[in-house]
Amino acid sequence: MQQYLGGANPNANPAQAENDFDHVAQNVPRATVAQGVTQALRSDQTPPFSQMVGQLFGNSNPDQRAGMLNQLLANIGPSVLASVAGGSLGNLLGADQARVSPEQASQVSPEQVQELAAKAEQQNPGIVERMGDFYAEHPTLVKAIGGAALAIALGHMAQGMQRH
């Protein structure tokens, strides 16, 4: 963990970061994982939040996709849903529906999720923490964000562990 403390190492081996993340995520409190993932989602050293959410969505199974959409939708108003993908997302998911099913989630593209995440972040910046918390429950999925983002997450997890 020491190697991650100063921030992202540009020479870090992505496969090593994945292995380290796997190991650490299994051995620290979920809140520590959530904090690290949230910081990676927020970092100016990683792609924008919406792009990473779209990428993670593309690498998710149907249940994870539904969970991600439910997290996003719980934190935005119906007007935001209606404004994404020309309103087709609202029609597909049903703006008045409480939960998105895995079957519905499979009909949504990563690009639509990226657009939804961008609008959700504009309306409610706290969505980044909620998504970080969601991803902390799915640490194997988090590896899809790439080595640099994992190194940032590990750095913040290491700082959190030092404080405790």
Domain count, the chain: 1
| pTM (2 d.p.) | 0.86
How many CA atoms does the CB half-sphere of 15 hold within 13 Å?
0
Whole-angstrom Cα distance, residue 63 to residue 72? 14
Of 11-15, 46-50, 91-95, 159-163, which has the strongest mean pLDDT? 46-50
Taking only the tens place, the pLDDT of each residue in 68-123 is 998 988 878 777 777 776 666 766 666 555 688 899 899 999 999 999 999 999 98
pLDDT of 35 over the 90 cut: yes
* Token pair belonging to 136: 């902390």
Q: Determine the average pLDDT of the residues in 128-134.
A: 95
Higher pLDDT pick, 146 / 11 = 146
pLDDT digits (tens, 9 = 90+) for 39-77: 999 999 899 999 999 999 999 999 999 999 989 888 787
Quote the pLDDT of residue 126.
93
Find the mean pLDDT for residues 145-155: 88
Which pLDDT belongs to residue 48?
A: 95
The pLDDT of residue 164: 64
| Long-range contacts from 81-87, C-beta under 8 angstroms, 24+ separation | 81/116, 83/119, 84/112, 84/115, 84/116, 84/119, 85/112, 85/115
Q: Which domain holds residue 43?
A: 2-163
Q: Which residues contact 84 (CB under 8 A, 6 or more apart)?
A: 90, 112, 115, 116, 119
